[in-house]
Structure 1
Amino acid sequence: MKDKDRDKMMWSNIKKRSAKDKIVFGAICFFSFLSMIPLFLIIWEVVSKGYKNFNWRLFTQVAPSSMDALIAKMSGEPIPGGILNGITGTFLIVGLAVLFTVPLGLFVGIYLSEHRDNKFAQTVSYLTDLLQGMPSIVIGIIAYIWVVKPLGSYSALAGSVALTIMMLPMVVRSTEETLKMLPHSLKEAGLALGASYTDVIFKVMVPSGFGGIFTGILLAVSRVMGETAPLMLTALGASVVNWNILEPTAAIPLLIWDFYNDPNLVDIIWSASLLLLIVIFLLNWLAKIVARKWKI
């Protein structure tokens, strides 16, 4: 009887735990679905309104004037023009930011991973975390003081400096954490074969952690791609395509802000937002592929 009672109690506990697991799993699925609803609604809103002006003009023509947009709306025609100046400006500013960020973030991340017990390294690590939480508008003000004021004008260079400050913590952290995850025997093997410390770091360790480092860079780019506040204080914007890094330059987020302030250009907001959404989605998707292919 005691064995039977023990078996009954055991099966009763198993059933209770199984029921609790099902309830918790159902609650997790339910709340996960609730958290996804706003995302689906945003995507639906952007796609349903953005496809109307999503055509070749969007990629080949600069932003129209308010008068041209008003005439088109009064005649029932699609708004002329596009966001070519914003597309080229975004690639120019973000491209410069990547050029500035990657070498600096890579070297700082390597230093932090190799000297994790050093007090200076701990201070740098703390400042990196602090920088990551800094509001973007504050970073824009700093870039304005550092670059715009000395140069005497707004420019793509100033915008790229602001985005560099925002991207740097993520690249540093991804590099540091990726190199920490690599087996220590990898470095020991390289040194045992007679390679110098520098060669081991840059020809063995960094290539081995390429997946994690590159993923961090892509995520950093997607993080700053839609930033507006820092660019308002640094790049300012331009109505024409500009490739001079020392002159004011447009960007897609800046055009969205400009269109929002003009009732005649509101319709292009959705097309520009859809393009920005697609680019960020592709960057995140590429980051997933890279992380999966070069998994440590």
Structure 2
Amino acid sequence: MNSAAKITAANISQRTLKDKLFKGLVLVLSLVTISPIVLIIYKLVAKGYRQISLEFIIKTPPNTFEAMTAVSNGELIPGGIANGITGTLLMVGLASLIAIPVGVVTGIYLYENPGKLLANLTRNVSDVLQGVPSIVLGLIAYMWIVKPITSGFSALAGSVSLSIMMLPMIVRSTEETLKMIPQSIKEAAVALGVPYYKVILRVLIPTGFSGLLTGILLGISRILGETAPLMLTALGSSVINFDITKPTSAVPLLIWEFYNDPNMVDLIWSSSLLLMGMVLTLNLVSKRIAAGTK
């Protein structure tokens, strides 16, 4: 009896040790996983906070001479990135207007017709599209919009390339959200004699609204920081522009432009900090909404 008790105690002790080692390993690997983003945010805040101000948001970037003069005098670089902020909002907003209705309707179609050939083909194309490099989507928008429609770089072309990037995430999030809605809700509405289109518009979409909104916000956060497709479509502008047929700047484009000018280095960090803040905010909001639906 004592021998059996000793063996049992030894096994428990061994299992406890293994459990502690495993928990320690998980903790270390978790810290390694989150350390890059923590270090990135720390670096951006440490380097970029000095330039963040109201002037940084409402004014356009300075020229090279103004920036060089400020740097040589040890002063803050004057001006800001207002043209990039307005351009980003314009193109992301227009891309959302294009991608959200198309993505939601396509997701509803995939949900309602899971076994049809067209639905399976659409689902596969959406999955493939999600892995297409952004520069390729920029080339597609260049061929579709820049050359034949606007006859030059434009916010419209940039919006089209960004909307194509958003589509796969909205389509799949819509389909998966609708799959999570109990079938009994839909059956109850149909049993009451509600027309089919009203079942979708007034039952399914409102019921899964939180999930749909989460997918949309994640799609927007993905395109906020894209640079490559905008270099081939929107090109950039030194002034604030709201004409969708003209070249327009964006925060990622300005970061690239500042990178090519050694006098604008401080603006790189501040612009990156602002962009990172926008992306993190959207991701946190989407996570909060997703958590609230559980």
Structure 2 length normalisation: TM-score? 0.96
Let me know the Cα RMSD of the aligned residues.
1.3
Check conservation: 1:210, 1:294, Cα contact below 8 A: no
Stretch deviating more after TM superposition (156-165 or 34-43): 34-43
1:50 matched to which residue of 2?
48
Q: Is it true that 1:67 corresponds to 2:61 in the alignment?
A: no
**115, 118, 132: which one pairs with 1:117?**
115
Question: How far apart, CA to CA, are the structure 2 residues paired with 1:199 and 1:70?
Answer: 62
2:15 matched to which residue of 1?
17
Q: What is the deviation of 1:10?
A: 4.2
Going from structure 1 to structure 2, the CA distance change for 1:62 and 1:20 (only over 3 Å counts) comes to same
Q: Is it true that 1:279 corresponds to 2:282 in the alignment?
A: no
Letter in 2 for 1:90: T
Check conservation: 1:53, 1:268, Cα contact below 8 A: yes
Q: How does 1:126-141 map to 2 (within 5 A)?
A: 126-141=124-139
Letter in 2 for 1:114: E
Question: How far apart, CA to CA, are the structure 1 residues paired with 2:152 and 2:191?
Answer: 54
Q: How does 1:106-185 map to 2 (within 5 A)?
A: 106-150=104-148, 151-185=150-184
Give the match's secondary structure for 2:103: helix
Check conservation: 1:85, 1:238, Cα contact below 8 A: yes
2:92 matched to which residue of 1?
94
1:216 matched to which residue of 2?
215
Question: How far apart, CA to CA, are the structure 1 residues paired with 2:3 and 2:49?
Answer: 67
Give the match's secondary structure for 2:241: coil
Letter in 1 for 2:24: G
Structure 2: unaligned runs, 5 residues or longer: none
Letter in 1 for 2:147: K
Q: What is the deviation of 1:36?
A: 1.8
Residues paired across the two proteins, number? 293
Question: How far apart, CA to CA, are the structure 1 residues paired with 2:183 and 2:10?
Answer: 48
Q: Deviations over 1:83-106 (max 9, x none)?
A: 000000000000001100110000
Q: Deviations over 1:166-222 (max 9, x none)?
A: 000000011000001111111101101110111111110111111111001001111
1:243 matched to which residue of 2?
242
1:81 matched to which residue of 2?
79
Question: How far apart, CA to CA, are the structure 1 residues paired with 2:128 and 2:193?
Answer: 39
Q: What is the deviation of 1:145?
A: 0.6
Letter in 1 for 2:223: V
2:226 matched to which residue of 1?
227
Letter in 2 for 1:166: M
Letter in 1 for 2:124: Y
1:104 matched to which residue of 2?
102
Question: How far apart, CA to CA, are the structure 2 residues paired with 1:11 and 1:184?
Answer: 51
Going from structure 1 to structure 2, the CA distance change for 1:66 and 1:125 (only over 3 Å counts) comes to same
Give the match's secondary structure for 1:233: helix
Give the match's secondary structure for 2:42: helix
Q: What is the deviation of 1:8?
A: 4.6
